[in-house]
Amino acid sequence: MQTILYHATTIAVFAVLIVLLFGFWNMMKGKNPNLSQKLMRWRVGLQFVAILIILAYVFVTH
């Protein structure tokens, strides 16, 4: 279980990073502002999931 949570944490953090960078890129290019807002909402949701996975990992390891 520990290994699964470790890898899930890594994947979740990278997913947050990818959405964050894509949102910044979209904002800097001045493209669709609605897409930027949607991406930032996705980022917040992914951060929530990442925090839950990290808390589960800490709970399992201690």
> pLDDT, tens digit, for every residue of 5-44?
999 999 999 999 999 999 989 989 988 889 989 999 999 9
As for how many domains the chain has, the answer is: 1
Predicted model pTM: 0.85
Q: Which domain holds residue 32?
A: 2-61
Residue 56 tokens, joined: 């589960």
The answer to whether 56 and 1 are in contact (CB under 8 A) is no
| DSSP 8-state symbol, 30 | T
Which pLDDT does position 62 carry in this prediction?
84
Q: How far is CA 62 from CA 2, 8, 57, 58, in A?
A: 11, 18, 9, 6
